[in-house]
Amino acid sequence: MRLLFFFQVFFFCTLLVFGQSYNNLGTKSLRDFNAKLRANEIGQKKYISESEIEGSPYIQKEFISGKIIKRDGNEYKEILLRYNVYNNAMEFKQNGTILEIADPQTIDRILLNDKIFVYSKYSAFRKFKASYFQLLNEQKYQLLKKYNVLLKGSDASTGFENQHQKMKFEKMPPTYYFRYRNGTAHQISSQKELIKILQPIPEEITKYIQNNLTNPKDEAQLIDILDHINKGLD
């Protein structure tokens, strides 16, 4: 019995290396709403819970059995996972409790069905941030897909109920980023911007991008471009 008890405690503590949030359905944003409610001491408005918001902040709401591979080589298999896009958090379920991966920078990759997710730094408006991305190719020059969800509604910034407009999570078009190996990711906003990020490159690759990248939001075009770049810059 003592041996069994020790094993159960050890296994649970190992998983808690990933966990930081013990609020079963609370997301970071909704916890912030609740803090604002207490700070403002407004008792006449109704606090909004996630279940009352239309839409979903997840790629898929159901948990999927996945695999976590850490940078140090350790692997965690058959972990129930889902990606909260709005909260930019990879959540996992353990004994009915929903937790978030606490140190995503220690993760090399997460496998969910046929998707591979990585956690990477990226540049946005001259500032450096970090996010989960879907990795679309395994080559030296990588294409990353960033999912986007917005919380809409007239009181979305406060978390209070509004009788005239319900709050809702709305899926937005994904954005695509380029990175070299495990470096900083850069958004592909135009063919001109991609060519600038890649410099110096051969004239042939520059012309290929100019002739073939007509829409920086077209995933098939971008996959083709990155495949050509990897072949031409090996």
154-208 per-position pLDDT tens digit: 555 554 455 546 788 999 999 999 999 889 999 999 999 999 989 888 999 999 9
Evaluate if residue 48 carries a pLDDT over 80: no
199-215 per-position pLDDT tens digit: 888 999 999 999 999 99
Distance between CA atoms of residues 72 and 60, nearest Å: 29
Buried b (16+ CB within 10 A) or exposed e, 178-188: bbeeeeebbbb
Chain mean position to CA 111: 13
DSSP of 52-78, one letter per residue?
GSBS-SBS-SS-EEEEEEETTS-EEEE
Evaluate if residue 114 carries a pLDDT over 80: yes
Q: How confident is the model at residue 96, as a pLDDT? A: 81
69-84 per-position pLDDT tens digit: 999 999 999 999 999 9
- Whether 216 contacts 176, CB under 8 Å: yes
- Region 94-104 average pLDDT: 84
Reduced to 3 states (helix: H, G, I; strand: E, B; else coil), residue 138 is: coil
Q: How confident is the model at residue 147, as a pLDDT? A: 97
Q: How confident is the model at residue 192, as a pLDDT? A: 93
Q: How confident is the model at residue 127, as a pLDDT? A: 80
The model's confidence at residue 39, banded by pLDDT at 50, 70 and 90, is: very low
Q: What is the mean pLDDT of the chain?
A: 79
Evaluate if residue 219 carries a pLDDT over 60: yes
Evaluate if residue 18 carries a pLDDT over 70: no
The phi, psi pair for 177, rounded to 5°, reads: -130, 155
- Region 41-70 average pLDDT: 78
Q: How confident is the model at residue 154, as a pLDDT? A: 53
Distance between CA atoms of residues 184 and 131, nearest Å: 11
Distance between CA atoms of residues 220 and 216, nearest Å: 10
Q: How confident is the model at residue 155, as a pLDDT? A: 52
Alpha-carbon separation of residue 101 from 18, 122, 185 (angstroms):
4, 19, 21
Q: How big is the chain by its Cα radius of gyration, in Å?
A: 21
Which of 173, 88, 174, 68 minimizes the C-alpha distance to 132?
88
